[in-house]
Amino acid sequence: NLDYIDTSFLLISKIVHPASGKLSVGMIFNQSEPQSVEAIQRIKQLASANNIQLVSLPVNSTADVQLVVASLLSKKIDAFFANPDNTVFASFETIVKACNQSNVPIFTSEAGLVQRGAVAAYGADMYQWGYQAGEQAAQFLKTKKTDGLQWQMVTLRKKVYNPTVAKKFNLNIPPTFQPIQ
């Protein structure tokens, strides 16, 4: 279920207001990761429906990220969206460095990436997600049965922002977002 991406992606248009008028958001995606391909399709629809120009480029491995992000940044994007993609997660510091050098803020749907340099996210807290899964594992270990266990969506999503990064880009974050600790 990719519903959480909607809120995260559309947050950009509430915070970033380019002088040119039309918001341009860039992102990379790994075309061999099903969740990344699903995310880019969803985001393309969101961008089109909300008058946002989406500039996306495929990336095949972490070794390609620096060059692909540089190419993306040369297209004069206003913001970068870090989608749920293993390649993005593994090379996030490279993305942050390039975006910071080009004065392009990063938004995401994963709360942990905010601590690593993104401005803001409405997304899953990986610790809480693991805790939630652990509760089901504990139930199984106690009962030795799968009765009552079922697939679950993450129950706790956080709206978080990085005050240092928000200040660097002079961005006003909605009051419903909590600063990272």
Across the range 154-171, mean pLDDT stands at 86
Alpha-carbon distance of 112 to 45, in angstroms, equals 25
Q: What is the pLDDT, as a whole number, of residue 2?
A: 54
Structural contact between residues 95 and 69, judged by C-beta atoms closer than 8 angstroms: yes
Structural contact between residues 120 and 114, judged by C-beta atoms closer than 8 angstroms: yes
Q: What is the pLDDT, as a whole number, of residue 106?
A: 97
- Judged against a pLDDT cut of 70, whether residue 1 lies above it is answered with no
Bridge partner residues of 24 (DSSP): 53
User: Pick the residue with more confidence: 119 or 130?
Assistant: 119
Q: What is the pLDDT, as a whole number, of residue 36?
A: 87
Predicted confidence (pLDDT) per residue in 142-153, tens digit: 888 777 777 656
Across the range 88-109, mean pLDDT stands at 95
Confidence of residue 125 (pLDDT cuts 50, 70, 90): low
Predicted confidence (pLDDT) per residue in 52-97, tens digit: 999 999 999 999 999 999 999 999 999 999 987 889 999 999 999 9
Structural contact between residues 153 and 159, judged by C-beta atoms closer than 8 angstroms: no
Across the range 34-41, mean pLDDT stands at 88
**Total-model pTM:** 0.83
Q: What is the pLDDT, as a whole number, of residue 70?
A: 97
